[in-house]
Amino acid sequence: SIAILLYLARKFKTPDHWYPSDLQKRARVDEYLSWQHVNIRGKAGKLFLTKVLLPLLTGQPFPPEKLESATEELNVVLKQFEEKFLQDKPFIAGSEISLADLVALVELMQPLGAGYDLFEERPKLAEWRRRVEEAVGKQLFQEAHEGILNAKNL
């Protein structure tokens, strides 16, 4: 949860870039963390749920029109994310990675795990993903997402 991430960042005095002490950068991180619950998390999770989890639980494929609707909803918030939060910056809060970037990319890995490559036709989003992965460490990032990336194979 966001509350736990913020607690851990404060308790263990993580490097400042994760949850910046600069008020403008921190406000940017907080803004994204508040926005993402019903936007990125809600829409990315819905696509994963409809494409992977519900068919797995029911044994029935999800109706294509509902899957298409979930994909369209996700595409709307991805456009908002690129325009409002990424803009022309390397990361959400500026030139360094923050908790906002980490939370955002974790949520966006769910549709990828469902077989929907949302980075394919979005070069700005793909470059941001590459920067986040490099900042975290590619091997650690892949290990952390191994389960979700293989979910469609269930």
Average pLDDT over residues 34-59: 91
pLDDT of 53 over the 80 cut: yes
Residue 44 backbone phi and psi in degrees, to 5: -65, -40
CATH fold for domain 23-150: Glutathione S-transferase Yfyf (Class Pi); Chain A, domain 2 (1.20.1050)
Residue 59 backbone phi and psi in degrees, to 5: 75, 5
Which of residues 127 and 51 earns the better pLDDT score? 127
pLDDT digits (tens, 9 = 90+) for 20-31: 999 999 999 999
pLDDT digits (tens, 9 = 90+) for 92-140: 999 999 999 999 999 999 999 888 999 999 999 999 999 999 999 999 9
Q: For residues 114 and 7, give the distance between their C-alpha atoms in angstroms, rounded to a whole number.
A: 31
pLDDT of 52 over the 90 cut: no
State the residue for tokens 């990361």. Answer: 91
High-pLDDT (> 90) share of the chain, %: 77
Q: Which two tokens stand for residue 43?
A: 């829409």
Residues 6+ apart with CB under 8 A from 48: 110, 111, 113, 114, 151
Provide the whole-model pTM: 0.91
Q: How confident is the model at residue 78 (pLDDT cuts 50, 70, 90)?
A: very high
